[in-house]
Amino acid sequence: MNRRSMILGASAMAAVATNARPVCALGSRALTYSEAEAFVWRPLDASGGVSELVRAATLGANSHNTQPWRFMVSAQEITIGADFSRRCAAVDPDDHHLFASLGCAVENMVEAAVLLGFKVEARYEHTSQDRVTISIDRSPPSRSELADAITKRQNTRAEYDGRDVSAADLNTIGTAGTLDGVECLLVTERRRMDAILDYVVQGNTAQMRDQAFMAELIAWIRFDDNMAVESLDGLSARSSGNPSLPAWIARRLLPFVMTEKGENDKYAKHIRSSAGIAVFAAASDDRAGWIAAGRAYQRFALQATVLGIRHAFLNQPVEVPSLRPQFASYMGIGDRRPDLVVRFGRGPTLPRSLRRPIQAVIDQP
């Protein structure tokens, strides 16, 4: 069965998984990008039960949109574990980002629970699998701004409008990002933001000179809409603010349009148009700490979304190992690891990234 031959009902939009790959379809035809986007990011449905908890989790931020998670679901609990077949060895050799991505998924599930009528408790299990178990009980559903924001949050890789964020809003997002021993440091002073830009530029330059990094990144770029809707993962051109182009043309153009100078200039514009930069540092530099950092970022991002504040990752200073200690020292966090770097401010939205359906990520217990 391929995606074109799937018939899923005359007018029903659906995302399911065949044995070969995930499928997003409207009746017998594949969805357009914007149809898939609307379907993936449809509001959470309180009548959807435990499945909606898993769907909420899959809407979490995740490195390169690899969606590196597997779920096991029973009536009493959901476990989230790593899908190491989706690890990114070049950018993330110790799986830091992979476990931070699991943390993002866990936090979405915890926040969604209120709206979906569940009482949940997340517990990290340090086993050979290093997974998180979420125990679930029924409880009356209630409204939650953070839960509503799950289907609105996005990494907005656009230029912002340069406006400041009020002290009250800074306090609200900073508090939301302080969780489970993770510190959320907010930098809004221009001089310090320029210093962080220097780290981003150094990191980006090193990464763009690293063939393995570039090959891995390009493998996860979905240059045209068909590629994106077919795989339902990866970095779609549209969600990075670029046009959809046939992959064979885009690959040839890439060396001319994605240059070191061009990318570094873009990051300078991105940081200078932002109101501030948030740096997350967990209490421990291990998988439990990385999951906690992901949870803290996700909560920060949901709260920012509630307030109409956009955000986007700029992780180069924490991804290039030789820069990380210098960056930690600049941020004054002693021997803790700086986990994640995120700029924020007011600005436009961009097309959203896509997700595979939950059927593609659930294993039978």
Residue with Cβ nearer ligand FMN (136 or 199): 199
Size of the site for ligand FMN (CB under 6 A): 18
- The verdict on 100 binding ligand FMN (CB under 6 A) reads yes
At 123 the three-state DSSP class reads strand
Determine what percent of the chain falls in helix, strand and coil, rounding each to the nearest 5.
45, 20, 35
164 in Cβ contact with 189 (< 8 Å)? no
Site string for ligand FMN, 296-325 (x = CB under 6 A): ----------------xx-x----------
Residue with Cβ nearer ligand FMN (235 or 323): 235
Rounded Cα distance, 304 and 58, in Å: 19
38: which residues sit within 8 A by CB, 6+ positions away?
A: none
Rounded Cα distance, 328 and 12, in Å: 50
314 in Cβ contact with 343 (< 8 Å)? yes
- The verdict on 64 binding ligand FMN (CB under 6 A) reads yes
Which one of 2-10, 61-69, 203-211, 245-253 is the stretch in contact with ligand FMN (CB under 6 A)?
A: 61-69
- The verdict on 223 binding ligand FMN (CB under 6 A) reads no
Name the strand (E) or helix (H) holding 312: strand 310-313
> φ, ψ for residue 23 (rounded to 5)?
-135, 135
Residue with Cβ nearer ligand FMN (61 or 250): 61
Tokens of 265: 């200039």
- The verdict on 151 binding ligand FMN (CB under 6 A) reads no
Q: What is the closest distance, in whole angstroms, from the C-beta atom of residue 231 to ligand FMN in the complex?
A: 13
Q: What is the closest distance, in whole angstroms, from the C-beta atom of residue 220 to ligand FMN in the complex?
A: 9
Half-sphere exposure of 152 (CA within 13 A, CB side): 16
Q: What is the closest distance, in whole angstroms, from the C-beta atom of residue 103 to ligand FMN in the complex?
A: 8
Q: What is the closest distance, in whole angstroms, from the C-beta atom of residue 331 to ligand FMN in the complex?
A: 17
Which one of 18-26, 62-70, 134-142, 356-364 is the stretch in contact with ligand FMN (CB under 6 A)?
A: 62-70
Name the strand (E) or helix (H) holding 40: helix 33-40
Residue carrying structure tokens 């899959």 = 58
Which one of 7-15, 58-66, 131-139, 184-192 is the stretch in contact with ligand FMN (CB under 6 A)?
A: 58-66
In the range 230-249, which residues lie near ligand FMN by CB under 6 A? 235
Q: Which of 31, 69, 74, 35 has the alpha carbon at shortest distance from 51? A: 74
- The verdict on 207 binding ligand FMN (CB under 6 A) reads no
What are the residues binding ligand FMN (CB under 6 A)?
61-65, 97, 100-101, 104, 154-155, 157, 235, 294, 312-313, 315, 353
